[in-house]
Amino acid sequence: MRFLFTEEAFQEALARPRLAKPVPEWRYDSLPDQAYIDIQPDGTVRTVIRYIGSGHFSGALRMYPYDRSAPTIYGDGRFIQAPAVDRYHFDADGLMDEGEALYDFIDAVQRAGIMPRDDSKLVRSLFAASRLPVLARGVRERLGV
C-alpha cells in the first residue's frame, strides 16, 4: 500500500517526541507533496521526505567514516538553505533499520561560501581538469599499456 502524506499529517508526525534530535538551530521544511510512506505487509515501513534545510552552518561536518580521520568541512556560521532528501526504513517493531540524508555536496558548500560558484574560473578549471584522467586512459588503451 502506498500513499502520500499530507503536509498537515507530516507536520503532526514531526511534532511527536522522538529519540533522536535534529541538528540544533536547523529548520527542516518539507516540500509540498514530497513526503512518501510505503507500508509493507510484514510491518516494515519505508519513508522518503524531500525538504529544504535552513540554518547556520557552523562547526565540523564530517564525511564517512564520521570519526576524527574523516574529511571534515568547517562552517563559519553563515546562514544557508540547502535542498535534501531523507530516506528511512523501519522494521516491524518501529526501530530504524537504515537511514540516510542525501544532499548535493557541491551546492551546500557553495551556498556556505566555502567553495566558489560554479561559474568561477577556479571551479571551471577544476572541472575541466577531470578530463585529464579520461584522456590518459584513452592513450593507454590505444598504446595497449
Please report the pLDDT score of residue 38 as a whole number: 94
Report residue 72 as a C-alpha cell.
571534515
Give yes or no: residues 110 and 140 share one domain: no
Nearest by Cα to 55 from 38, 32, 78: 78
Domain range enclosing 125: 116-145
DSSP state of 23: P
Contacts of 57 (CB under 8 A, 6+ apart): 75, 76, 77, 78, 79, 80, 108, 112
Give yes or no: residues 75 and 132 share one domain: no
Name the residue with cell 507533496. Answer: 33
- End-to-end Cα distance, the chain: 54
Please report the pLDDT score of residue 120 as a whole number: 93
Give yes or no: residues 98 and 56 share one domain: yes
Q: What average pLDDT does this structure show over 115-128?
A: 91
Q: Which tens digits make up the pLDDT trace of 2-50?
A: 334 455 655 665 565 554 444 557 788 899 999 999 999 999 999 999 9
Residue 133 has pLDDT above 90, yes or no: yes
Please report the pLDDT score of residue 5 as a whole number: 45
Q: What is the domain count for the chain?
A: 2
Give yes or no: residues 126 and 110 share one domain: no
The one-letter amino acid at 62: R
Q: Greater confidence, 142 or 118?
A: 142
Give yes or no: residues 96 and 56 share one domain: yes
For residue 122, name the pLDDT band (cuts at 50, 70, 90): very high
Report residue 108 as a C-alpha cell.
551546500
Nearest by Cα to 46 from 113, 107, 1: 1
Give yes or no: residues 64 and 129 share one domain: no
Give yes or no: residues 89 and 47 share one domain: yes
Give yes or no: residues 68 and 93 share one domain: yes
Name the residue with cell 544532499. Answer: 103
Say whether 143 sits in a helix, a strand or coil: helix
